[in-house]
Amino acid sequence: MSTVKSKGTVTIAVETCKGCELCIPACPPAVLTMSSTVNHLGYHYPELADGCTGCAACLLICPDFVFEVFREARSPAAGAAT
């Protein structure tokens, strides 16, 4: 049972990941860790823990187009920076 609330989430296309690990330090809430198993290319890939904010930092830094980002709808006053 999770105690950390996730305000967003990401999908991870693990089979296209080349394991560069750029997303790991890029994640502000630090909820991405590299897997212990490998994909069909032989690379480790990121796995998501609870606490994602949907900030899209991982998507912006990923060279292999692995992430898709979803965020909970918020009031316009608390909108993200443009």
Partner 1 sequence: MKLVGQQKPELLLTETHHMCPGCGEPLALRGYLEAIQELGLSQRAIAVAGIGCYTSFSMTTDVDLVQALHGRAPSVATGVKRMLPDSIVFTVQGDGDMVNEGLQEVLHTAARGEAVTCILLNNGVFGETGGHMTATSVIGQRTKNTLDGRDADYHGYPILIGDLLAQLQGAAYVARGSVHNAGAVARTKRMFKRAFQTQMDGGFSFVEVLTMCPTGWFIPTSEGPDYMSATLGEVHIMGELKVDGVVKSTDELHEENVRKAAEMEQALARGGIDT
Summarize as ranges the residues that interact with partner 1 (CB under 8 A). Answer: 7-9, 11, 13, 16, 18-22, 24-26, 28, 43, 53-74, 78, 80-82
d(CA 35, CA 54): 20
Residues 35, 46: contact at Cβ < 8 Å?
Answer: yes
Which of residues 21 and 47 has its CB atom nearest to partner 1 in the complex?
A: 21
Shortest approach of partner 1 to residue 71 CB, angstroms?
Answer: 5
Residue 3 or residue 75: which is nearer to partner 1 going by CB?
Answer: 75
Count of positions (residues) in the chain: 82
Name the minimum Å distance from CB 68 to partner 1.
4
CA-to-CA distance for 44 and 14, rounded, in angstroms? 9
